[in-house]
Structure 1
């Protein structure tokens, strides 16, 4: 189990952040997954809200598809899928702008190191 602990603590350095000092649109994603797997929803959303959104959207999508199979006239999934993707893209863009704004203008680092 020691090897699992070592893998858990591994993290990759964001090249974009290393070169520019700014966050990339995906910065915090790995930390968000780690903290979500540990059950800390608040920190997961703070690190990157797309991770929790993806989990919730996936659960909702599976549920809707299961219900749709039982109906006589199934739902049209294409429109809903496009909406889910657009919401996800909006989350990424808003998160990226907000984190860089807080870092550059306010001097607040919203990606504290993992414990």
Structure 2
């Protein structure tokens, strides 16, 4: 059980953030997963909203595909997959711009340590 606690505390330093002082598009992702696993949805979204979006999108897509296989004429999933990917990309870009705006212009760090 001690090894599990050690693994849980492992985190990597973002090289982009270390060099520039700005957040990279993925900054906060690991912390978002940790807080989501602990049940704190608000902090998970604050750290990185893509994590919760991914969980919801994968669960929804799994249910849709399961129900589609039961039908006589299965659905075509390609268009929906493209839309989900574009939404995910938009979340990453908007999150990246917003966090760096808050950090640089407002002086507010939205990624507090765990």
- Does the residue aligned with 1:62 lie in a helix, a strand or coil? helix
Deviation string for 1:12-59 (max 9, x for gaps)? 000000000000000000000000011111110000000000000000
Aligned-residue Cα RMSD (Å) equals 0.5
Instruction: Provide the rounded CA distance (Å) in 2 between the counterparts of 1:6 and 1:70.
Output: 44
Partner of 2:8: 8
Q: Unpaired runs of 5+ in structure 2?
A: none
Partner of 2:71: 71
Dislocated runs of 4+, deviation >4 Å: none
Partner of 2:99: 99
Alignment of 1:1-115 (within 5 A): 1-114=1-114
The number of aligned residues is 114
The normalised TM-score by structure 2 is 0.99
